[in-house]
């Protein structure tokens, strides 16, 4: 005799069919989503293999990490900002004398790729100074902040309080108190320890506008990608001098000394010239993304231009915006154009630093 099925058994079977049906529909939906994204074949195949081979984990991983999701509000802002910023940049460059410059035959394909993907022009007449010592970098940051007259904008992934970095915070407080427009963007994860100190309150009380970028909260994980962070290292002062490079606002003598790798080695480039307003526009774009406040027309840009010994510079920003994922394509293009040799960028960087130290560069001060 067959055992008779109880109502509870029927409910269990029905629940099992419903769960299986829901998961099957979910898998089909995610697979179609991966295919419709039209990403590189290798990336798509890797996600499909993970989703189909490891049922629950694969789907969960894709829902959390598979796409760039920074929230509906940020997506709407990014869409609304794109064309106004492109038009503003074109209008800005049209007003610069001696622009645009003509790249060399060898550099032209790379310059064209960057301009077509990112809208960033090649600008001539700039001055650059490579800074490779942490003490030197922090001292120059402090000096330029102390000499600021109108604005001072900073954007960093990590700000760790302590050591010589505190002099930067003190200089910002003094600048804000004398009426300079001071704004700071710091990543929520990279600068988490800094936000737990008294410095944020002191900066805000002095008039510095400090914003925590991409707040990291556990409840945001289903809606926002928590692994996507803001890694920029930028400082723009008075629209006449800017810094960028690899160094965060940390003092290497106290930063992560227990990591067992010694002091961190970083470089920064101090720039003057027509490219500075372009770097300024990158900051105000990120500021608008976080706050909704548009600063595009808040300043007039009349940078200096050096006809002798001036450098041609093209800014290559990256991030979750149109064209912002093309750094790999740019590097590949540069490798494809190589005619004699190619090597790792790290030895090239070290050689560049040694060469720069041997050059007789002019002293670096405030805005000239």
- How many independent structural domains does the chain possess? 2
Q: Which of 117, 172, 114, 122 is nearest to 143 (CA)?
A: 172
Q: What is the pLDDT of residue 362?
A: 42
Confidence band for 367, pLDDT divided at 50, 70 and 90: very low
Q: Determine the 3-state secondary structure of 183 from DSSP.
A: strand
The set of residues, in sequence order, having a beta carbon less than 8 Å from that of 128 and lying 6+ positions away, is 269, 270, 271, 311, 313
Give domain status of residue 2, yes or no. no
Helix, strand and coil in the chain, % to nearest 5: 45, 15, 40
Q: Is pLDDT above 80 for 200?
A: yes
Residues 162, 53: one domain?
no
Lowest-confidence region among 158-167, 204-213, 314-323: 314-323
Q: What is the pLDDT of residue 363?
A: 39
pLDDT, greater one: 176 or 1: 176
Residues 61, 76: one domain?
no
> Residue 24: which domain range?
7-65
Q: Is pLDDT above 70 for 353?
A: no
Confidence band for 217, pLDDT divided at 50, 70 and 90: low
pLDDT, greater one: 6 or 304: 304
Confidence band for 218, pLDDT divided at 50, 70 and 90: low
Give domain status of residue 115, yes or no. no
C-alpha 156/C-alpha 159 separation (Å) is 7
CATH of the domain at 266: 3.30.870.10
Confidence band for 144, pLDDT divided at 50, 70 and 90: very high
Q: Is pLDDT above 90 for 364?
A: no
The per-residue pLDDT for range 41-90, each reduced to its tens digit, is 777 888 888 878 887 788 777 776 666 666 677 777 777 888 888 888 88
| Averaged pLDDT for residues 120-139 | 91
Q: pTM for this structure?
A: 0.77
Q: What is the pLDDT of residue 221?
A: 58
Residues 15, 91: one domain?
no
Give domain status of residue 324, yes or no. no
Residues 150, 210: one domain?
yes
Beta bridge partners of 203: none
Residues 61, 85: one domain?
no
| Domain end among 18, 41, 65 | 65
| Averaged pLDDT for residues 80-104 | 84
- Mean of the per-residue pLDDT values of the chain: 81
Residues 295, 351: one domain?
yes
Concatenated DSSP letters of 144-172: HHHT-SSEEEEEES-B--STTHHHHHHHH
Q: CB atoms < 10 A from the CB of 266, how many?
A: 17
Q: Is pLDDT above 50 for 91?
A: yes
C-alpha 141/C-alpha 235 separation (Å) is 8
Confidence band for 143, pLDDT divided at 50, 70 and 90: very high
Q: Is pLDDT above 50 for 360?
A: no
Give domain status of residue 320, yes or no. no
Confidence band for 230, pLDDT divided at 50, 70 and 90: confident
| Averaged pLDDT for residues 207-227 | 74
Pairing of strands 181-187, 209-213: parallel
Residues 354, 209: one domain?
yes
Residues 83, 12: one domain?
no
Burial string for 71-104 (b: 16+ CB within 10 Å, else e) reads eeeeeebbeebeeebeebbeebbeebeebbbebe
Residues 51, 78: one domain?
no
Token pair in block for residue 131: 């800074």
Q: What is the pLDDT of residue 219?
A: 55
Residues 137, 234: one domain?
yes
Give domain status of residue 201, yes or no. yes
Q: Is pLDDT above 60 for 152?
A: yes
Confidence band for 9, pLDDT divided at 50, 70 and 90: low
| Averaged pLDDT for residues 260-289 | 88
Q: What is the pLDDT of residue 317?
A: 85
| Averaged pLDDT for residues 92-121 | 84
Q: Is pLDDT above 90 for 148?
A: yes
Q: What is the CA radius of gyration of the chain?
A: 25
Residues 244, 128: one domain?
yes
Give domain status of residue 118, yes or no. no
Give domain status of residue 175, yes or no. yes
Q: Is pLDDT above 70 for 288?
A: yes
Q: What is the pLDDT of residue 145?
A: 96
Give domain status of residue 260, yes or no. yes
- Counting residues of the chain whose pLDDT is more than 70, the rounded percentage is 82
Instruction: Write down how long the chain is.
Output: 368
Residues 163, 281: one domain?
yes
């Amino acid at each position: 005799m067959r055992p008779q099925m109880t109502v509870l058994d029927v409910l269990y079977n029905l629940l099992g069919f419903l769960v299986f049906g829901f998961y099957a529909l979910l898998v089909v939906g995610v697979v179609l989503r991966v295919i419709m994204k039209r990403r590189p074949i290798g990336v798509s195949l890797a996600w499909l293999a993970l989703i189909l081979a490891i049922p629950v984990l694969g789907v969960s991983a894709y829902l959390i990490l598979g796409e760039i999701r920074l929230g509906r509000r940020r997506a709407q802002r990014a869409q609304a900002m794109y064309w106004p910023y492109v038009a503003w940049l074109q209008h800005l460059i049209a007003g610069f004398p001696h622009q645009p410059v003509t790249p060399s035959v060898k550099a032209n394909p790379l310059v064209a790729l960057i301009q077509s993907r990112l809208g960033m022009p090649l600008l001539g007449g700039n001055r650059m100074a490579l800074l490779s010592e942490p003490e030197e970098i922090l001292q120059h940051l402090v000096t330029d902040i102390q000499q600021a007259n109108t604005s001072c904008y900073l954007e960093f992934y990590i700000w760790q309080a302590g050591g010589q970095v505190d002099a930067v915070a003190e200089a910002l407080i003094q600048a804000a108190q004398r009426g300079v427009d001071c704004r700071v963007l710091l990543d929520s994860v990279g600068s988490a320890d800094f936000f737990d100190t008294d410095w944020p309150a002191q900066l805000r009380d002095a008039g510095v506008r400090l914003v925590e970028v991409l707040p990291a909260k556990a409840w945001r994980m289903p809606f926002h990608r928590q692994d996507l962070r803001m890694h920029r290292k930028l400082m723009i002062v008075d629209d006449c001098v800017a810094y960028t490079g690899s160094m965060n606002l940390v003092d290497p003598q106290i930063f992560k000394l227990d990591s067992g790798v010694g002091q961190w080695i970083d470089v920064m480039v101090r720039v003057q010239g027509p490219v500075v307003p372009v770097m300024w526009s990158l900051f105000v774009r990120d500021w608008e993304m976080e706050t909704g406040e548009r600063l595009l027309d808040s300043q007039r840009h009349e940078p200096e231009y050096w006809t002798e010994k001036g450098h041609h510079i093209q800014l290559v920003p990256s991030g979750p915006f149109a064209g912002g994922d093309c750094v790999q394509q740019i590097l590949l293009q540069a490798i494809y154009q190589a005619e004699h040799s190619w090597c790792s960028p790290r030895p090239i960087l070290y050689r560049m630093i040694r060469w720069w130290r041997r050059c007789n560069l002019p002293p670096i001060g405030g805005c000239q």
